[in-house]
Homo-oligomer: A and B are copies of this chain.
Amino acid sequence: MINIAILGFGTVGSGVYEIVRQNGENLKKKINNDIDIKYILDIRDFSSHPESKLFVKDFDIIANDPEVDIVVEVIGGLSPAYDFTKAALAAGKHVVTSNKELVATHGTELFELAEKNGVNYMFEASVGGGIPLIRPLMQCLAANNITEIYGILNGTTNYILTQMIKKNKSFEDALSDAQAMGYAERNPAADIEGHDACRKICILASLAFGRHIDCDNIYTEGITKISLDDVKYADALGCVIKLIGYACTYGKDKVFARVSPMLVPVSSPLAGVDDVFNAILVNGNFVGEVMFYGRGAGKLPTASAVMADVIDIAKDVSVQKRMTWKKAETDIALDINDSESVMFVRIKADDIESAKKKVITAIPGAEFVCANLLDGEIAFLTPKQTEKSLNNALATLDGVVSVIRVKQD
């Protein structure tokens, strides 16, 4: 018998409960053992729940019960999830989590603690909801050096951008829609400012490149400045605007990660990823491009990913999986200023010809695009250069309306 304890009976926690209760027979077959929920920890009152006897408010009951094999931490946030996770691992219990903030912030320490105690700390559900990602990256692409990752990692912003692109709604209206649909929080900053995507690309990049990249070292730009005019230009260029979590290796020892809106050519499989769907495009040196697509959030998709980890552990609780990363010994993150980009730029221009001259002087090789799309402005694509040199050049120009990075084919 495998006993699990669920920490947090919110959206994901109740989804895990539902899957175990609905699909128990099937799970039993897959793990060749009985599996049951022994405790559910939640500070709220669930005394009228049909299985109210499972609910506890004191974490020590779980930590001290030797019958608990796997702790499912789906509380979210750092506190008290961090302390509970450390205590569970120290007590020799496997921990499975959907908590991206905790994995991105303290993953390295928690992996070490798990290893020391002969257990696993697993986090498939922390990125991409139900989309299989961690095992494909670590096992199926194991023969490859992963060189690049492009991810649509946040469903809320992808829904907003899709509404702007397909329904011609303003950012503000699309955000209100997303809130009305329950896709965005009343305080939407974590989504629209890119922080959620930042944690996810932090996890993916750390895993793919084997060493931890600190979220603080990941340049993060949200979608709040994207306008319908930008969407119109993107369309004229055969692109759509997506919020992209990007990571790549750089030279021999460096890695680079960034979250920002990008112009994505419609020929890219990422361009067709709409609404709240997520997708992660990975480039491996042997396999080429592969992409994983699905629902990046939601009760049952996320719980499905949690249960994948639970099943994997439950098949043999004595096995350590090693789907982790190490602490970076040196500063491995390339600074955004030293990274290279192609930028799409719009600037105000009363006098088109003189404005163009200034652009060419500031940025030799700039390519003007979408002539006359909007009155009183010009638009151009820069050559690929370091962001430092591009920003220095752009600082010499007046009336910059918008600057968006461009995904190269």
Hey, which bits of chain A sit against chain B, CB under 8 A? 15, 19, 23, 26-27, 30, 124, 130-132, 135-136, 139-145, 267, 269, 271-274, 277, 284-295, 298, 300-301, 303-305, 307-308, 310-312
Contact = CB atoms under 8 A, between A and B. Distances in A.
A145 B25 CA distance: 11
B23 A311 contact: no
Contacts of A274: 267
Given A142-B30, A308-B141, A19 B290 contact: no
A8 to B, nearest CB: 18
B294 A290 contact: yes
Contacts of A284: 130, 304
A293 B131 CA distance: 12
A286 B132 CA distance: 13
A304 B304 CA distance: 27
Given A23-B143, A30-B142, A290-B295, 6 more contacts: A23-B145, A135-B136, A143-B308, A271-B272, A272-B272, A286-B301
Contacts of A130: 284, 286-288, 290
Nearest to A138: B30
Contacts of A273: 269
Given A140-B136, A145-B26, A269-B293, A287 B311 contact: no
A267 B275 CA distance: 11
A142 B311 contact: yes
B287 A140 contact: no
Contacts of A269: 269, 272-273, 277, 293
A141 to B, nearest CB: 7
Nearest to A26: B145
A385 to B, nearest CB: 31
Given A286-B130, A287-B301, A288-B130, A143 B294 contact: no
Given A26-B145, A136-B136, A142-B30, A131 B290 contact: yes
A143 B290 contact: no
B288 A291 contact: no
Contacts of A311: 139, 142-143
